[in-house]
Structure 1
Amino acid sequence: MTGSAGDEREPSGLPAALLAGAVADALCAVDGRAGGVYMCSSTPGLLRLAVLSGLPGPLFRPWWQVSVDRPFPVVDAHRRGVPVVLANAAETMRRYPQFAAGLPFQFATLCVPCAAEGRTFGVMTVLRAAAADAGDVQAGCEGIGRVADALAAALLRYETDGQAVTWDDEPLCVRPPAAGLALGRVGHLSWDPATGTVTADEAARALLGLPPDERPAGLDALARAVDPTDAHRLPTLLHEAAQGRPPPLPVQVRTADGGLRLLELRATGAGTATPAPGVTGVLLDPGPGALADGAADLLPEGVFCLDRLGLIVYANPRAAHLLGVERSRLLGRSLWEAVPWLNQPAYEEPLRGALLSPEPVHFHVRRPQEAGEGGSDPRPYEGDWLSMAVYPGTDLLTCTAVPASRVPHDSDGPTAAAAADAESGAPAPDAVSTTPLYRPIVLAIALTEAVTARQVSAVVMQELLPAFGGRRLAIYLLQERHLYLAWESGFPQGFLAPFEGVGLDARLPGVETLTTGRPLFFDSMEQLTAAYPGIPLDATEGARAFLPLIASGRPVGSCILGFDRPRSFSSEERTVLTALAGLIAHAMEKAQRYDTEAALARGLQQALLPRRLSRHARVETAGRYLPGTEGMEVGGDWYDVVEAGDGLALVIGDVQGHGVQAAATMGQLRSAVRAFALGDRPPEEVMGGTNHLLIDLDPGQFASCCYVRLDPATGLARVVNAGHPPPLLRHPDGRTRIVDLPDGVVLGVDPSAHYPVAELRLDPGAILALYTDGLVERPGQDIDDGITALRAVLADAGAPPERSLADVADRLTATARQAADRPDDIALLLATRLARVAHDDYGPSPSVTPLASRGPAV
C-alpha cells in the first residue's frame, strides 16, 4: 500500500471540489460514516472511485474501480438507474455475496445514481450504521437523491460546455464533515507597544471574558482577564514577541474563571523599518481535548489516535516507544507511512473492520527485529509482540498497544503466517508485499457466475490480479498435450506468440508448473533468468508467479501473474494463490465443457436459421441475428421469410431460455410455421396450430411470435401477434410508428388461445421492422424506452433506393454489435415493397390505408 491518505491534488478533468462537496453533503444528509462517488471512466464498462470521504484510500484499493458487469450494489444502481439500499451485513450477503465477502462488516450501504436527462454520470454511495431492515435507512435515499440530482445537473452543464465528464485518476481522499463537537473557538488580538493598547475581536473578547465592545483595552485589562498566576507573564511575552523573539509554541493561559486557552504570538514589524513593531496573537479554546491528551501522556499503555483517513493525530510517549518511532515522526503522518512494518496484509483487515463497524477489534502484531529509525536502538522495547486494540469513534479511531510475551492460542492464521515471515524475514523492507489479504471466497463467488473461458479469465483479471498488485495475466489451456493461450492482458504485443502451442516437454516455467503440479514464484527477473537461462523477457524488472491449473487431479492449464516491480511472496500469499489456482482450474474445466456444448448449440442454431430468404420481385428483405454474450451464448430467436401462395410470410419468434433445448425448440417451431405458411393457411390458423404443436411437444418452454402474411401486389398485410414486441413501420417520408396489434398470449401456454388478425398496408418505400426483445430491452430500462430509441434510429437510417435494406439492418444493430456484453439474443427482420418493376404482372400500386398506431410520429 502506497500513497498519502489525504490527497489534496486537483486531477485533470472534473472539478474535484465539486465532487468532494457533493459527497460531504450526502454524508450530512444521512449521518453517514463514510462515502464516495463513482464516475464513468474513459474506459468503456468501467466505473472509477473519484472521491472517497472518511476512509483511507490505500486500505480500500481493491474497490477503486469496478466493472459494470460485476454483481456490486454500485453497479446495479448505475445500470438500473434506481437506488440500492442494503440495511446490514445479512442483507448484503443475501443480495451481493461477492461484495459482502470482501467487506464482511456490519454497515449499511446506500447507492444512488447521479442522473440527469437520461444520462447517468455516476453513483453516490454512503456507508452508515447498520439497521434492522431496509425501512430504517430507506428514508436516507431521499436526502442523498437530492444531492445526487444537484451533482448530476452540475455535471450536465459541465458536459454541455464541452468538457469530458469522466474520471481516470486515483480517488481523491478527503476528510468527512466533523460529526463530533467542533474545535474550540478562535479569536484574534493585537498589541501596539507605542500606545500600550490591546485590540481584540469579538471571539477573543468572549474567550477572555472581556466586555463585548469595540474599545481598545490596555495591558491591565488583559491581565485582569487571566488567572493571577499567568498575569505577570503576559507583558514579558508581548515585549519579547515585539522584539522578534516570540515563544516557539503556543503558551497555555488560564482565564480568570479557570478556562484553558492557547495563545500564539507573532511580531508584525520586527527587523523592518517600522519604528514601533507590533504584536498579533491567535487565541484558541482547545476544548477538553488538550486535557485528555495531557492525561493520556501519563498512561503506561501506548495510546495513539487516527483520523478517518488514517493520519496519526495523537500519540503518547509510550506508543512512540513501543512502535519504535520518535513521537515527532508519528504525528501528521499516515500509520503505514510512519510505521512501515504495520503495512502487512494481516493487519489491514482489522483496521478496515474498525473503520466500517462499531465494534472494537483486537489483534496481535509482531515487531521486526529493528524498529527504530535512523540507526536507533534496534530493540528499544521489551518483547517481540504487541497486543493491539482499535476502538472506533465517529471522527477518530483510538488505538492501544501493550507488550505481549507471546501470541495467544486464538490468534488467527494470517497473523501467525505474517509472524513466521517476519521471523524468517529476510525480504528487504522495500520488497515486502503490501497487498491486502485476499479472501478466496470472493473469487469463488465470482467464478460461480462465469460460464465461458473468456468470462472465467475476465473474473481472474478483475478480481485476483488487482488484489495482489499484479499488472499482467496469461492463462494457457491444455489441448492434446500442448498449451494454447486462452487469455492475456498487460504483456507487450506479440511477446507471448512464441509460446503458443508449446508441448509439455518444453523447459518453460509455464509448462513445468503444470507437469510438476508445483507453483513457481520468482521475486525478480534475475531469479527467473537464473532458473531458466535464455528465457525471453518482456523488458520489465518485476516478479512472476506461475500457477498450475489442476482440477481433481486432471491438468487443465497454467496461469501466469506478472508484477511491474520486484517483490517477495509470503508463505501466506503462496498458500492463497495455490488454492485460488485450484478454483480457477475447476472453473476453466467447467467452462471447457460449456464451450463444447455451446459450439454444438451454435452449430445447431446456424443449421436451423435460414441460409437465404425467399425472394420476390416486389419485396426486398434483410435479416440479422446476433447471439447473446452472457450465459449460454445461444438462444431461441429466429426469423424466416416463406413463400405463401402468391405472397410472402414474414416470421419472427423468440423461444424462452437459452441452450441446446431452446435451439431445438426453435427449430421445431420454425419448421411448423414454415409448413403452415407453405400451405398458405390463414395467419390465425398458423399461430393456433403452432401453439398446439408446442403444447403437445411439452418442452417446458414457451415462445413469442409475430407472423405477417404480405401480398406484394396490393401491400395488404395480415398480422397476428403472440406476445411479441410490436412491429415498427417507417413511412417513405421518414416518419415511424409502432404498429398497434391486438396481443395474443404467448405460444405453449393456453390450448384454447385465440389469435386475432390485424390488417395494414405497406406503401412502396416503407419499411416494416420485426425484431426480438434483445434489441430493445436493457436491464433497468423500460422496454418502451428501448422501442422509442429504435424508432429514432429507424427514422434516421434512410430507406431504399438511397440506402440498401442491408445497410439499414446494419445501422439498427450497430450499437448491439459493438456491445461487449449482450444479455440476450437479437433477431431482426426488415421488409420493404419496391416500386413497380418493368414487365411485372402485379398492376398499379393501390393507395395506402392509414395505420392504427400508438405514440406520435417521430
Structure 2
Amino acid sequence: MSGVQADRAGTAPDARAVEAELHRVVTGSGASMGVLYLLSNGGSELRIAMIIGMPEEFLRPWRRLSLTAPIPASDAARERRLIWSGNHEETARRYPRLALAFPYRFALAAAPLLDGDICWGSLVLLFPATHPPTLPAHERDTILSACERLGTTLRRAADGDRPLSSPDVPHVVPLSQARHVPPAEARAAVAFVDRLPEGCCSLDLEGRITYINATGADLVGGTVPALTGVLPWAALPWLRDPVFEDRYRAAVVSREPTSFTAVRPPDRRLTFHLYPDASGLSVRITPLAAETNGDPARPSPAPAYSPPSPEPIRPGALYHLMHLAAAFTEAVSVQDVVDLAAEHIMSAFDLQGWILLVSEGGRLRVRGHRGYEPEAVEWLDGQTGPAPATAALASQASRFYASPGEMEREYPGARTHSDKAAWAYLPLTVSGQPVGTCVLSYDHPHHFSHNERAAMTSVAGLLAQALDRALLYDAKHQLAHRLQAGLLPDALPEIPGLEAAARYLPATPGIEIGGDFYDLIGLDAAGAAATIGDVQGHNVTAAALMGQVRTAVHATAGAAPGDVLARTNRLLTDLDPGLFISCLYVHLDLGAHRARLSTAGHIPPLVSHPDGRVTPATLSPGLLLGIDATADYHTSEIPLLPGTMLVLYTDGLVETPGVDLDTSTAQLAARIRALRHQPLDELADTLVRDVERSGTRSDDIALLLLRTPAGTMPPAL
C-alpha cells in the first residue's frame, strides 16, 4: 500500500495493527499524545504517518524532518536510542528550534522503531506538564517494547510487498471514545448547564465548538446555531488576538487548565476558563463581577459597531513562520526549499494556491507549485512579457490583488488561466539581484491586511535567501554528479559465461564526490578481470585519483593479480597524491573454473558456493596503495565452480555504528545465502535497499556481483 489510509474500512491489517499499537503505547505509558514517523526518501528523512491525541495542524511544521535535523524524532532514529526531555526548560536547552515554535509545558520521549538492525522510523510521545521530570522504568519499558512491536509489524508489511509509508495527510487516530449517554441523562445534563448563571461550551481538540449553552452564546454575542461547529476566533472577530488561540493550544499540549480575559466590544470583559482532557476542552465563560454588580447573569448590551481593526497574525501562523525561518537554515537543495516553503507558507496564511518561479535565462520557470491545474502552471512557466509575476520581479515590489476585478483591471485575461480569486506576487531578490517570484493565492476574494502584507514580504525575503543558496548548491551537485558518473563505467561489458551486476550509492546527496570505484574488464574468450576499491576522502582530488587507479589497472589487466597491484602501487607512489587507496583485483579464468585474487588492504569478497555456503575469501593481506613503492602483493586462488558467486563490496555496505565489522559481515553473508537464487540485478537492489532502510549509512557503497551460471542450483544446507 502507498500509505497509511485514514479510512478504517479500507485500511490494510498491518496499518490497523500499527494504529492499535500506537493507541496502546499512548494509554499504557501515560502519554497524552503520540506521533509516528516513518523513514522515507531513501532513509534520509522522516515523515509523519499517524497522530493520536493532537490536532494535525499543530504538527504541520514537523510533518517532514531531515534525519540530520536537531529534533528528538530525528535524533532517536539516527542514534537508535530513546530520547527523553523532562520539561520545557530542558527542551529549550537541547532543542531550541522545537521550543521556539512549540512554547508550551510538556515532557517528551522519542524512540526508534527497530527490527534487528533496521530502523523504520521513530515514535514521539508527549506527556502532560504534570509528569515527573524523570522517565520511570516501567514507562521506558512500555515505550521500548511498543517500538519493537511496531518495528516488527513494519518489517512484516515490507516483506509482504505491502510496505507502510507516510500519506500526504497524516492519519489521525482517536484517543478517546465518546461515552454513550442515554437520552434522559443527556437532557438532564443540558438542563443542568442551562440553569447555570455562566456560559459553558465544549471544544474538540481542533478547537471547534461542539456545544455551547444559550447563556454562553449570549455572553459572546452570537447564537447557538451560528457558533456550533466553528472555531471561536473565526466566528468572533474580537477573539482573533493571537493570545487567545495560544491559550487554547497551551491547554491542549500541556493538559493543564488555563484562562484568559478578552474584551467583547465595546467594553464587556469576559473570562474564559479552559479545562482540557483527551477528548477536548470544557470552557466556562464568565463576565467580570465588577461589570455585572455581582450578577454574572445580567445580559450585556448589544455591541456597537466599530470599523474592523488590522487583524493580527494567528499564533499558528507565527509558529509556522518561526519554524520555517529555522528550517530554511538546514535546507540544502532547491527541492528542500520547495517542500518546506509549500508546506509552511500555505499553512501559515491558509492559502489555496502557491507557485515558486525561478529566474533562468531571462525567463521565469516553475520549480514548485501546489493547488494549481496544469494549464495554469504551463501558462506561468517561461513567462517573459507583461504579467504580474514578471512585473513584481522587475520592480522588486510586491503586488497584491484582493479580487478578480483588481487583477482584470491591470492584466486583462490573466486570471482566466486559473480559478483563483486573490493573489500576492512577491519578488525574490538577494542583494538587489533577481532570484524569482513567489505567487500566493486564494480561491475567494481576500483582503490583505497591513500585517499580513508585512508578514508575506518578510517570508519572501527568507525564501529568496534560501533559494539562492539552494540554486548554488544544486549547480555544484550536478557538476559533482557528472564528474562522478564520468569516472565509473557506463555499463558492464558482456562476458560469456559470467553474470554481472553493479551498484554505486554515494553516502549523502551532497556535493562531495565519493572515492569508491569498481570495474569489470573483458580479457580474452575465457577470462575477465574485476576490481573494486576505495580512495581516501570525498573530494575532487579523490575522484581524480580514482580515475588514475582505474586507468592503471586497465593498463596492466591480464597480468598476475599481485603484479597488477604492485605496478599500480608504484605509479601512485610516484605521483605522491597524499591519499591512500584500498583495492581488490580478481582475475577470472572461466575456462579453468578458478579465480585468482590479490588485495591491497581491501575487504575480502564473499563467496557464495554452489552448495549454499557463503564465506569470506581467504586472502593474504597487502598494504594500502600509495604508501610504500616496494610493497609486494600476494596472489591467492579459489575455485570458481558453476553456480559460484563473488560479492565484491566496499565497507559502506557493512559499516554500522555500534556493530563490529565481523558481525555486520556475517549478517550480510546470511542475507546473501537467503537470496542467492534471485537474479543478480534484483539481488544488488535488495542489498543496497537493506542498507538504505537501516538509516545508518555514513559512507559510499560500491557493490559488484559476479556469478557463473549453473544448470541446477544445489539445495541449501
Q: Which residue of 1 aligns with 2:107?
A: 108
Q: Which amino acid is 1:351 matched to?
A: Y
Contact 1:725 1:773 in 2 (8 A): yes
Structure-2 change in CA distance of 1:140 and 1:496 (3 Å): same
Q: Which residue of 2 aligns with 1:353?
A: 250
Q: Which residue of 1 aligns with 2:293?
A: none
Contact 1:108 1:130 in 2 (8 A): yes
Q: Which amino acid is 1:829 matched to?
A: L
* Equivalent residue for 1:697, pick from 554, 557, 577: 577
Distance 1:249 1:664 in 2: 82
Alignment of 1:330-345 (within 5 A): 335=232, 339=236, 342=239
Q: Which residue of 1 aligns with 2:296?
A: none
Question: 1:607 Cα shift?
Answer: 3.6
* Range moving further from structure 2, 766-775 or 674-683: 674-683
Structure-2 change in CA distance of 1:785 and 1:435 (3 Å): farther
* Range moving further from structure 2, 98-107 or 722-731: 722-731
Q: Which residue of 1 aligns with 2:647?
A: 769
Contact 2:504 2:700 in 1 (8 A): yes
Distance 2:345 2:430 in 1: 18
Show structure 1 runs of 5+ residues with no match: 1-7, 189-245, 251-261, 265-285, 368-378, 406-420, 799-807, 836-849, 851-855
Structure-2 change in CA distance of 1:121 and 1:34 (3 Å): same
Q: Which amino acid is 1:455 matched to?
A: D
Alignment of 1:334-413 (within 5 A): 335=232, 339=236, 342=239, 347-357=244-254, 367=264, 382=267
Distance 1:811 1:157 in 2: 19
Distance 1:500 1:353 in 2: 43
* Equivalent residue for 1:552, pick from 420, 431, 453: 431
Q: Which residue of 2 aligns with 1:491?
A: 372
- Structure 2 SS opposite 1:558: strand
Q: Which amino acid is 1:382 matched to?
A: D
Q: Which residue of 1 aligns with 2:453?
A: 574
Structure-2 change in CA distance of 1:474 and 1:335 (3 Å): closer
Distance 1:9 1:714 in 2: 62
Q: Which residue of 1 aligns with 2:321?
A: 440
Structure-2 change in CA distance of 1:132 and 1:570 (3 Å): same
Contact 1:51 1:171 in 2 (8 A): yes
Count of residue pairs the alignment pairs up: 679
Alignment of 1:660-675 (within 5 A): 660-671=540-551
Distance 2:377 2:209 in 1: 47
Q: Which residue of 2 aligns with 1:760?
A: 638
**Structure 2 length normalisation: TM-score?**
0.72
Distance 2:259 2:622 in 1: 62
Q: Does 1:706 align with 2:584?
A: yes
Alignment of 1:451-470 (within 5 A): 451-470=332-351
- Structure 1 SS opposite 2:509: coil
Distance 2:584 2:702 in 1: 12
Contact 2:91 2:98 in 1 (8 A): yes
Alignment of 1:472-621 (within 5 A): 472-493=353-374, 495-503=376-384, 506-535=385-414, 537-541=416-420, 543-610=422-489
Structure-2 change in CA distance of 1:135 and 1:460 (3 Å): same
Distance 2:501 2:107 in 1: 52
Q: Does 1:737 align with 2:614?
A: yes
Q: Which amino acid is 2:125 matched to?
A: V
Q: Which residue of 2 aligns with 1:846?
A: none
RMSD: 5.8
Deviation track 1:742-791 (CA, whole Å, cap 9, x = no partner) reads: 69699589879998765422224533232345567799999559735862
Structure-2 change in CA distance of 1:613 and 1:435 (3 Å): closer
Deviation track 1:800-857 (CA, whole Å, cap 9, x = no partner) reads: xxxxxxxx3466237969999998654333445589xxxxxxxxxxxxxx9xxxxx96
Distance 1:320 1:687 in 2: 90
Percent identity of equivalent pairs: 31
- Structure 1 SS opposite 2:318: coil
Contact 2:507 2:698 in 1 (8 A): yes
Q: Which amino acid is 1:708 matched to?
A: V
Distance 1:83 1:684 in 2: 50
Question: 1:127 Cα shift?
Answer: 0.7
Distance 2:495 2:462 in 1: 56
The structure carrying a bigger helix percent of its residues is: 2
Distance 1:363 1:602 in 2: 57
Q: Which amino acid is 1:520 matched to?
A: R
- Structure 2 SS opposite 1:136: coil
Structure-2 change in CA distance of 1:263 and 1:297 (3 Å): closer
Structure-2 change in CA distance of 1:387 and 1:113 (3 Å): same
Distance 1:690 1:387 in 2: 85
- Structure 1 SS opposite 2:413: coil
Distance 2:190 2:440 in 1: 58
Contact 2:320 2:345 in 1 (8 A): no
Deviation track 1:673-726 (CA, whole Å, cap 9, x = no partner) reads: 556767756179649938984995335xx6554333444553443435566555
By relative contact order (CA 8 Å, sep 6+), the higher-ranking structure is: 2
Deviation track 1:290-335 (CA, whole Å, cap 9, x = no partner) reads: 9xx99x948xxx8878676647799899865552246898799865
Contact 2:562 2:632 in 1 (8 A): no
Distance 2:394 2:84 in 1: 49
Question: 1:494 Cα shift?
Answer: 5.1
Distance 1:52 1:113 in 2: 18
- Structure 2 SS opposite 1:714: coil
Q: Which residue of 2 aligns with 1:52?
A: 52
Contact 1:642 1:678 in 2 (8 A): no
Question: 1:65 Cα shift?
Answer: 4.5
**Structure 1 length normalisation: TM-score?**
0.62
* Range moving further from structure 2, 448-457 or 87-96: 87-96
Question: 1:550 Cα shift?
Answer: 0.9
Question: 1:556 Cα shift?
Answer: 1.0
- Structure 2 SS opposite 1:484: strand
Q: Which amino acid is 1:594 matched to?
A: Y
Q: Which amino acid is 1:110 matched to?
A: A
Q: Which residue of 2 aligns with 1:27?
A: 26
Structure-2 change in CA distance of 1:356 and 1:366 (3 Å): same
- Structure 2 SS opposite 1:796: coil
Deviation track 1:167-225 (CA, whole Å, cap 9, x = no partner) reads: 857644645599xxxx9xx9x9xxxxxxxxxxxxxxxxxxxxxxxxxxxxxxxxxxxxx
Distance 1:704 1:132 in 2: 54
Q: Which residue of 1 aligns with 2:703?
A: 828
- Structure 2 SS opposite 1:437: helix
Distance 1:166 1:632 in 2: 28
Structure-2 change in CA distance of 1:676 and 1:171 (3 Å): same
Question: 1:548 Cα shift?
Answer: 1.5
Show structure 2 runs of 5+ residues with no match: 1-5, 291-305
Q: Which residue of 2 aligns with 1:62?
A: 60
Distance 1:17 1:43 in 2: 25
Structure-2 change in CA distance of 1:332 and 1:583 (3 Å): closer
